[in-house]
């Protein structure tokens, strides 16, 4: 059976770079109409340019996921354009400052939780009713390996990703009889600008050495690519995973197995 999203509508937040861009392109290649959402309008437009250059149907939306009215606006845009939402990649996130817990500024903590928890919550709150009305839909929230383990100098990020997994499980139970599934991906280190920013924050001039040290402890010896994470996300919203819901699926090359 071929994986085919023709006729389906996908909304992807954080679509301007990294995992969000990779999953937008993959969904588009598989036939989905894609609403690429990013806080930075220019990045959303750039993603749409790449999608359209590949022959995909796509629109851009600028939205700060922390604000309910902006989340409602991107949901309304997708429904107005294409009449439905079949796939929701609730992906936007931010690592925040890299600092010890005792030195972490209060306002920076609030910002991390606002993006990573409130943003995911608002996305679920406003997309799930559309899917329930259709009687069909699938959501993937982007969590992290940090949803399962502690991470030094990233306590707020770690707490936020634990919360994403909790939201995933609760939402999945609430909509399971409505034809809607909700899962999370929990990547380990992924070769994106975010992980490089974290490494630089933790090790400064020794960031490359830290990177090599971390790759050495991964059983397969490397970080994931954004494309590999995107492939897992697409599997989780496809009919191939029709009996999987409420799960936080790790992708980390065997780390912590």
Q: Which residues are catalytic?
A: 157
Separation of alpha carbons 202 and 180, rounded Å: 39
Q: Are 175 and 127 in contact (CB under 8 A)?
A: no
Q: How far is CA 232 from the centre of its chain?
A: 11
Q: Where are the beta strands (DSSP E) in 9-99?
A: 9-13, 33-38, 58-62, 87-90
Distances (CA, A) of 177 to 106, 134, 172, 233: 40, 13, 9, 22
CA distance 79 to 142: 23
* Bridge partners (DSSP) listed for residue 228: none
Q: Is 148 helix (H, G, I), strand (E, B) or coil?
A: coil
Q: What is the DSSP string of 237-248?
A: HSGGGTT--S-E
Q: How far apart are CA 170 and CA 15, in angstroms?
A: 25
């Amino acid at each position: 059976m071929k994986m085919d999203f023709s006729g389906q509508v996908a909304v992807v937040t954080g679509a301007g770079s990294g995992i969000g861009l990779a999953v937008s392109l993959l969904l588009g290649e598989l036939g989905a109409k894609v609403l690429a959402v990013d806080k930075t309008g220019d990045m959303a437009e750039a993603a749409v340019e790449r999608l359209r250059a590949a022959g995909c149907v796509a629109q851009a939306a600028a939205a700060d996921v922390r604000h309910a009215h902006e989340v409602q606006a991107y949901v309304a845009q997708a429904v107005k354009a294409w009449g439905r939402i079949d796939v929701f990649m609730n992906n936007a996130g931010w690592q925040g400052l890299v600092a010890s817990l005792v030195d972490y500024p209060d306002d920076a903590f609030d910002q991390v939780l606002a993006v990573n928890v409130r943003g995911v919550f608002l996305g679920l709150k406003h997309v799930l009713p559309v899917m329930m009305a259709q009687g069909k839909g699938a959501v993937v929230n982007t969590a992290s390996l940090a949803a399962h383990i502690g991470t030094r100098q990233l306590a707020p990020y770690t707490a936020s990703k634990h919360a994403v997994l909790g939201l995933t499980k609760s939402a999945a139970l609430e909509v399971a009889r409505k034809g809607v599934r909700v899962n999370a991906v929990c990547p380990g280190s992924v070769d994106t600008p975010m992980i490089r920013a974290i490494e630089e924050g933790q090790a400064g001039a020794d960031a490359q050495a830290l990177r090599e040290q971390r790759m050495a402890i991964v059983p397969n010896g490397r970080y994931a690519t954004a494309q590999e994470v995107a492939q897992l996300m697409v599997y989780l919203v496809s009919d191939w995973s029709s009996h999987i819901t409420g799960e936080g699926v790790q992708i980390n090359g065997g780390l912590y197995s």
